[in-house]
Chain A
Amino acid sequence: MTGLEHLRADFPVLRREIGGKPVHFLDSAASSQKPVSVLEAMDEFYRCCYANVHRGAYTLSVESTDRYEAARTRVASFINAPDPDQVVFVRGATSALNLIAHGWGGTHLRAGDRILLTEMEHHANLVPWQMVAARTGARLDFIPLTPEYRLDLEVFEDKLDDDVAVVGVTGMSNVLGTIPPIPRIAEAAKGVGALVVVDGAQLVPHQPVDVQSLGADFLVFSAHKMLGPTGIGALWGRPERLEEMEPYEGGGEMIADVQLHSSTWAAIPHRFEAGTPPIVEAVGFAAAIDYLEKVGMDQIAAHDADLTGYALDRLAQVPQLSVYGPAGVEGRGGVISFTLADVHPHDLATILDQHGVSVRAGHHCAKPLMRHLCVPATARASFYLYNTRADVDALVAALGTASDLFGVG
């Protein structure tokens, strides 16, 4: 037990009851709940100082711009980026990966280049690369998984050669919970001059991340998975890599000068922020980071590990339940995918919901990984700082009911 239970009071939605039972929210890997401080920061900002950013020579716009840029500074300090201008606000991790794939890949990849991804990528770090590969003639290649659900680093190193132009890897699998050793992967990839792209959507909300020791060229993540609002995320990039990248969207805000037939771009990061940005969402994002840092990312990681270990132990005692992911908590985050005998995961999720237990069921936007696991879908429980052992106990109890119902065991 890591004593974060008092935090639950900060999350209004956790007071809800579903079917007369308290909600046990176990789907933070899809999106997290929001503390009052984030809700209030956004509400207060709308009431006191909201206006569009960057263009207005009036007080409200100046204040709004200050808050928006202060949020950028806040995000930068959270991942220890040396300069806030290395942080681009985007719609979320998916749009960041599209920007990198099209904006960098679209102009740098050549026929015969290889894009090396992993077998456990979310569709967001796969489909954009497929699109760019089709356009440029680059080829996709994949780092396989070991039987222990970890990346096979020997095969990875065998596959690395001068043709590898991009190495794209998740910081934490949203299905298996696997946390690959990014610094080691990045160092090897750098040896062949490859661009290293890390999908941090699952990692950044749950572990301390320092871009100065990570070794990546790009790191992307979404606010809504780390207590912040939907509609905003961040792309961190090394300055020289950001310079190499072409903007993907044109419009207002991203230009230096516009002629009828051509334009020049604004400086980085605004070059990549066409149109009115998610201003209030940026303020909420900063408030979420304030909250996370007040709790402490080390404490959050320890709490996740404690709950994950407890859950793995308890789930191991459920007859005919299969867990897909590394056996221990080492190199593994708080995401547990499972199936129960031949019960379809969608049936399982519906039954669990009857007991107030919210889990996700489906392919988790990782269809190639589902095929690798030879299952059409899994159920998935995921933890965050507001979850407790009581949530795990409720999950296990509800699984018992589902087993009885479906005649398992």
Chain B
Amino acid sequence: MSLEELYREVILDHYRNPRHRKPLDRADAHAEGVNPLCGDEVTVELTVADGTITDVAAIGQGCSISQSSASMMTDAVLGKRIEEVRELIHRFKAMMDIDREVDLGLDPERPGAVLGDLEALQGVRRYPVRIKCANLPWTTLQEALDQLSDS
């Protein structure tokens, strides 16, 4: 599938109709990320109960890659345990590493939107400058998780 088709089918869908973009009424963690290179901004908020992400929001502005990545990320982490989310961050960043081929290792019972959508971003690996855009929400999510373990 060409990058253009990826843009059309998945990335633009998340860009135009971002999921979980409404700020949370009450957040256990709140982190803000900025990509100084292009001005992309993402804020991640989480609520957590018994080690599980019970609610998530990603609010921001910027290019379609950073904002669709944020939207897909919220779908992917909601309802997951924190250690699973940390593993997912690790896998996502490995996927965006141009020198590595990785097994995404997602739950085969519900690959659906999650696996398909995240894979769409793999196409931007050819553009190292854009990898930072795709990674921004995930780096910000990691900061939010770190706040939880600090407190």
Contact = CB atoms under 8 A, between A and B. Distances in A.
A350 B62 CA distance: 14
Interface string B65-97: 100000000000000000000000000000000
A160 to B, nearest CB: 35
A376 interface: yes
Contacts of B65: 346-347
Contacts of A406: 12
Nearest to A361: B38
A354 B4 contact: yes
Nearest to A362: B38
B97 to A, nearest CB: 19
Nearest to B41: A376
Nearest to B38: A346
Interface in A96-119: none
Contact of B39 (A347, A350, A363, A405): A363
Given A344-B64, A346-B65, A351 B39 contact: no
A405 B130 contact: no
Interface string B125-138: 00101100100000
B8 interface: yes
A377 interface: yes
A344 B130 CA distance: 12
Given A344-B62, A344-B63, A344-B64, A350 B38 contact: no
A405 B4 CA distance: 8
A362 B37 contact: yes
What are the nearest 9 A-B pairs in CB distance?
A344-B63, A376-B39, A346-B63, A347-B64, A347-B63, A346-B38, A354-B4, A350-B127, A405-B7
Interface string A321-357: 0000000000000000000000010110011011000
Contacts of B151: none
18 contacts: A344-B62, A346-B63, A346-B129, A346-B130, A347-B63, A350-B127, A350-B130, A354-B2, A361-B38, A362-B37, A376-B38, A376-B62, A377-B38, A377-B39, A401-B4, A405-B4, A405-B7, A405-B8
A350 B37 contact: no
The winner among B4, B8, B130 for most chain A CB atoms within 10 A is B4
B104 interface: no
Given A344-B63, A346-B130, A346-B133, A351 B7 contact: yes
Contacts of B62: 344, 376
B124 interface: yes
B4 A351 contact: yes
The winner among B7, B124, B133 for most chain A CB atoms within 10 A is B7
A405 B15 CA distance: 12
Contacts of A353: 127
B3 interface: yes
A123 to B, nearest CB: 13
Contacts of B64: 344, 347
Interface in A41-97: none
Contacts of B124: 350
A397 B123 CA distance: 23
Nearest to B2: A354
Contacts of B127: 350, 353
Contacts of B133: 346
A407 B133 CA distance: 22
Contacts of B129: 346
A400 to B, nearest CB: 13
B27 to A, nearest CB: 26
Interface in B95-151: 124, 127, 129-130, 133
Interface string B1-23: 01110011000100010000000
Nearest to A376: B39
A339 to B, nearest CB: 12
Interface string A377-391: 100000000000000
Given A350-B127, A361-B38, A407-B16, 10 more contacts: A344-B62, A346-B129, A347-B65, A351-B7, A353-B127, A362-B38, A405-B4, A405-B7, A405-B8, A406-B12
Interface in B1-58: 2-4, 7-8, 12, 16, 37-39
B66 to A, nearest CB: 9
The winner among A353, A376, A401 for most chain B CB atoms within 10 A is A376
B48 to A, nearest CB: 32
Interface in A192-208: none
Contacts of B12: 405-406
A346 B7 CA distance: 13
Nearest to A344: B63
A346 B132 CA distance: 12
Contacts of B37: 362
